[in-house]
Amino acid sequence: MISRFPVVDISPTTYFGGEFIAAKAIPHEAITIAGTVFREGHESFEVFALLFDSKGSQIQRNPMRLIWPGTDRYEGIVTPTELGAYTFAIEVTDDKNISSISERFPIRAEDPRALIGAWYEFFPRSEGATKGSDGKIISGTFKTAQPSLQRVADMGFDILYLPPIHPIGTSFRKGKNNSTTALPGEPGVPWGIGSPAGGHDAINPELGTLKDFQEFVKAAKKLKIEVALDLALQCSPDHPWAKEHEEWFTKRADGTIAYAENPPKKYQDIYPLNFDNDYEGLLAEVLRIIEFWIGEGVRAFRVDNPHTKPLHFWQECIAAMNAKHPDVIFLAEAFTRPAMMHGLGKAGFQQSYSYFTWRVTKQELTDYGHEVAKSTSGFFRPNFWVNTPDILPFHLQSGNPAIFALRAVLASTMSPSWGMYAGYELFEHVPLKADGEEYLDSEKYEIKVRDWAGAAKSGKSLAPFIAQLNQIRRAHPALQRLRNLEFHQTDSDQIIAYSKREGSDLILVVVNLDPTRSQQTTVHWNLYFLGLPDELFQGEDLLTGKKLSWSKDTFITLDPTGSAGAVAHIVHLSTQ
């Protein structure tokens, strides 16, 4: 039935799987509630956003404002204060005797790391690895990788993601640059999980022991770094599951287990799982594995190729884990179609890899920024990765340090979560082939021996700049939010400008998207978005420490041929 005051087009609401799913939030994150409200005649009315706790008690009643005359569109704010389930509604009154309340819609406040994080990825076998005079490479271990935690901490990263740390199969093991024939001594692909030494709940003996891993996690936590593990639900032909649970796999007509394919690529060293033969058995085993690693201190999981598994499996799996462990988060590694990526977020994934990696031009970045901050933020949290072991974007293949710097600025300031794979700070950029986005000598297939100290000593490292970016992020709440991203007009397609505000903390960012030459433009700041009453304002460039005096229309020059910090302005304005 239509209520006394119709309230329609309410957001954030998402209907999925036969129900309204909870809008994503974290404690103390301001959530904008919006709705179209109207009535007969010309009488005025007041509109309020209501927030209810998990017991149904009203805990907030905040006024909503008409955002533009004639639109009937109202907006207001509610703010969950702690972890847990909430609902919201919109109330309309004219006087004490006439009022309406909309139906209630769910919000769930999750652990802050569900929204905010600086992720770094390295392969433990490469950290501390050495190369002998005979050319033979000796693998790194958890013990040799442990000192590298300080390097990660010094750059300001708070989540360290490790590719699979489990035993690697030998059957059909891949060699250097994805060769189908591994030479003696080649380490194999970590995602080819399983050998006689064990499966998903075992440690690769070449990395050490479970105790070594425990010590590694303990050392990371002392540095305030969370260790995230890869959850790759697949296995090598040597995995114990392949012998003990043949029903968990798809078989060909000849009775053999089918290996993974992603045409034109073939993965003979990997068996995908089939969730249709013994769903309950597989679910129970996956929950057992996750629970095992949670018991070892792991509170974050990067899930490999989740889009190749049923969505309802993830919905059930993540809900079960978060019911027991609300501080555990799951990151979906799914570079796939939008519907599936969004579906994974709706199914429960706290974060997802995103299309940022391929958004390069001002228009692409603006459109995508609007999408993730406004259109999909109720159910999809993006993590902006600048590179991955699988992806060397074309724009990085020049090796120009300026492109590495400006992409890091964009990723770390546009999104509250961003990620970087080891080697980015050393400007690694050589592709396998000219028309592809894969690394030559990819670390997926071999052990990398890098000279971190030498690069730092010679100044051929972006690490100090990365540390500066992460320090700025930690210091400014505005950069720890997603929905507050607003873009501002510039007269050049080579310069992008945007702002973020959280309370009195206001950050303005201007980036030169051209890594090869100086660019100039006038930025036309939208004072409404900034919440500033005056056309003149002063701030501090957090990259250089310089005081700046800007106006509503500000002429800016950015020359990327100087230091890394010359690619952008990150300006703090205090509005207290």
Residue 38 lies in a domain: yes
Count of structural domains, the chain: 2
Respond yes or no: is residue 304 known to be catalytic.
Answer: yes
For residue 123, tell me if it sits in a domain. Answer: no
Amino acid at 565: G
* CATH code at position 539: 2.60.40.1180
The answer for residues whose C-beta is within 8 angstroms of residue 447's C-beta and 6 or more apart is 123, 125, 126, 129, 137, 139, 140, 187
Strands 547-551 and 300-304 come out as: unpaired
Q: Which two tokens stand for residue 434?
A: 């000219």
Q: Evaluate whether residue 175 is within a structural domain.
A: no
Nearest one of 115, 548, 76, 80 to 329, comparing CA atoms? 115
Domain boundary among 109, 136, 164: 109
Length of the chain: 576
Check residue 1 and give its pLDDT: 66
Residue 68 is assigned to a structural domain of this protein: yes
Q: Considering only CA atoms, which of 33, 36, 35 is closest in space to residue 60?
A: 33
Q: What is the pLDDT of residue 572?
A: 98
Q: Which of 111, 226, 304, 437 is catalytic?
A: 304
Boundary residue ending a domain (82, 109, 136): 109
305 belongs to a structural domain = no
End-to-end CA distance of the chain: 46
In a domain, 85, yes or no: yes
CATH number at residue 20: 2.60.40.10
Looking at residue 534, what is its pLDDT? Answer: 85
Q: Is 502 a catalytic residue?
A: no
Q: Is residue 539 part of a domain?
A: yes
The answer to whether residue 62 is domain-embedded is yes
* Residue 115 φ then ψ, to 5°: -110, -35
Residue that is last in its domain, among 89, 109, 129: 109
Q: What is the pLDDT at residue 262?
A: 76
Q: What is the pLDDT of residues 474-515, one digit of tens each?
A: 999 999 999 999 999 999 999 999 999 999 999 999 999 999
Instruction: Give, for 219, the enclosing helix (H) or strand (E).
Output: helix 210-222
Q: At what angle do helices 279-295 and 311-324 cross, to 10 degrees?
A: 40
Residues spanned by the domain of 101: 7-109
Instruction: Pick the catalytic residue from 269, 333, 505, 514.
Output: 333
Residue-by-residue DSSP string for 299-351 = -EEEEESGGGS-HHHHHHHHHHHHHH-TT-EEEEE--S-HHHHHHHHHHT-SE
Per-residue pLDDT at 155: 98
- Cβ neighbours of 413 (radius 10 Å): 24
Enumerate residue ranges in the chain where pLDDT < 70.
1, 576
